[in-house]
Structure 1
Amino acid sequence: MTFQNIVATFAGAFIFPFLIRMIWGKMVENWGNIGGWMAAGFIVGTTWTLNHGVGMIFQTGAWVDMAWAAGIGLFTASVVSGDSFSKGVPDYLAALVGGTLGGFLLSCFL
C-alpha cells in the first residue's frame, strides 16, 4: 500500500462519520423523521459512492463494513468533545456488531 493509498483510505473513512456528526442531526431537527431518511440516503449513498464506486479507499482483500468507520469515528469524536469513554462503549460495540453482520451478509453473495 502506497502512502497515497493510505492517505486516501484514511480520508474516505473520515468523511463518513464526519458527515453523520455534522449533518444528520440538523436534518432530523429541521425535517423530522423524513430528514432522518433523507440523511440516511444522502450521507450513506454519497460516501459509499465516493469510497467504493469512485475508489477513494484502497482495499487489500479484507472486508470492513462502513458501520465500523462510523462507529469508530463517532466514538472518537464523542470522547474528544468531552463525553465520557464509558458512555460511548455500548454504541461502539453495537457498531462493531452491526458492521460485522453487514460485512458477513455482503460476503455471502458478493
Structure 2
Amino acid sequence: MTTGQAIATMVGGFLFPFMIRLSWGKLVDDFGPIGGWMAAAFIVGTVWTINHGINNPMITQSENGAWIDMAVAAAVGVYVASIVRGGKVKPSMRNISAGLSGGVLAGLVLSFFL
C-alpha cells in the first residue's frame, strides 16, 4: 500500500461516521421515520460507492489482508464522537457488550454453513 492509498483509506474510513453525524439526525428530525430510511439509502449507498464500488475506490484492501467493514468504521467513529461531546463511557458498556456478543454469535452461525 502506498502512502497515498493509506491516506485515502483513512479519509474513506472517516467519511462514513462523519456523514452519519452530520446528516442522519437532521433527516430524521425533518422527515420523521422515513428520514431514517432516506439517510440509510443516501448516506450508506453513496459512501459505500465512494469507498468500494468505483474503479479506483478510496479504501484499499489487499487480497490477504484484514477485512474492514463500514459498520466498524461507523461504530467507532460515532462512539468516539459521542465521548468527545461528553457522553458517558460506563453506561454504554452494556450495549457494546451486547453488540459484540451478537456479532460473535452471528459470525459463529455463519461459519457453520458458509
Query: Could you state the TM-score of these two structures normalised by the residue count of structure 2?
Result: 0.78
Deviates more, 1:90-99 or 1:9-18: 90-99
Distance in 2 (CA, whole Å) between partners of 1:28 and 1:89 is 26
Distance in 2 (CA, whole Å) between partners of 1:75 and 1:42 is 21
User: Structure 1 residue 99: deviation in Å?
Assistant: 9.5
1:51 and 2:47 are equivalent in the alignment: no
Which runs of at least 4 in structure 1 moved beyond 3 Å after TM superposition? 87-93, 95-102
1:80 and 2:81 are equivalent in the alignment: no
**Contact 1:67–1:95, Cα closer than 8 Å, also in 2:** no
Instruction: Give matches, 1:4-19, under 5 Å.
Output: 4-19=4-19
Distance in 1 (CA, whole Å) between partners of 2:95 and 2:19 is 18
Larger Rg: 2
Q: Aligned Cα RMSD in Å?
A: 2.6
**Contact 1:71–1:95, Cα closer than 8 Å, also in 2:** no
Q: Secondary structure at the match of 2:58?
A: coil
Instruction: Give matches, 1:85-104, under 5 Å.
Output: 85-93=89-97, 94=99, 98=103, 101=106
Q: Secondary structure at the match of 1:6?
A: helix
The gaps in structure 1 that reach 5 residues or longer are: none
Deviates more, 1:3-12 or 1:53-62: 53-62
User: Which protein has the bigger helix share?
Assistant: 1
Query: Could you state the TM-score of these two structures normalised by the residue count of structure 1?
Result: 0.80
- Count of paired positions: 105
The gaps in structure 2 that reach 5 residues or longer are: none
Distance in 1 (CA, whole Å) between partners of 2:52 and 2:18 is 17
